[in-house]
A and B are shown apart, each in its own frame.
Chain A
């Protein structure tokens, strides 16, 4: 009798779960925006010295370019790079892998590379104070180079 009651209770809960799952709309969550320091200084690459085989260009996102730059040009490890881009390490690894695959695809199939924003955002006009490690931006007419917290002149541009 008791076990029967438990089983019936279980089915009740399961029914509720099924109804809940059916009501839930299967829509993916928005992608978290990836922070990039600056967009690439080119809008694409074209192969030359070959007969173009495919006219479909490979679309390289800004965040993929940034991942490639941080990992292979600046020689950061994935954990440090992920913190800079404000994403998790696993997400960084995925973006980096995508970037490598896209570039390999473009090289092997002699395709063009075009860049696009993807899901990234840029931080503009940010500076870093070497004295107190605060980051700040200068707004509008304020063009002083001193840190607003410790008024030290030892500041550098994060964007280049």
Chain B
């Protein structure tokens, strides 16, 4: 199962980004072989609709779960439609710590 975590930088020691649509990087974690890879979010400086565009990207990546700080109403709607589990976290944690507990 693929889990996507919004990240501030492209390494596993960076903190999770609390914004979903405007996070700069996304960490793709595959729990079948414990592999992580990073993908840059091209919509992080978008004028509008960043949440929707980012959701579309995540749906294309085939994720089943997303971990971030806050989702906008449109992004939520789209992720709900494609049965993607959303986790809201309000604590500052690094990607390593999150992956360890998964």
Residues of A within 8 A of B (CB): 33, 121, 123-124, 132-140, 142, 148-151
Within 8 Å of chain A (Cβ to Cβ): is B11? no
Using CB atoms, name the residue of chain B closest to A121.
Answer: B73
Task: Collect the chain A residues with CB atoms within 8 Å of residue B22's CB.
Answer: none
Chain B interface size, as a band, is 10 to 19
- Beta-carbon contact of A148 and B89 below 8 Å: no
Majority-rule SS of B interface residues: mixed
Q: How far is the CB of B64 from chain A (nearest CB, A)?
A: 8
Bits for B36-74, please: 1 = Cβ < 8 Å to A, else 0.
000000000000000000000000000011010000010
Q: How far is the CB of A79 from chain B (nearest CB, A)?
A: 17
- Beta-carbon contact of A148 and B73 below 8 Å: no
- Beta-carbon contact of A138 and B85 below 8 Å: yes
Task: Collect the chain A residues with CB atoms within 8 Å of residue B32's CB.
Answer: none
Q: How far is the CB of A120 from chain B (nearest CB, A)?
A: 10
A-B contact pairs, 13 of them (CB 8 A): A123-B76, A132-B89, A133-B89, A133-B91, A136-B86, A137-B80, A137-B85, A138-B85, A139-B83, A140-B83, A148-B65, A148-B102, A149-B98
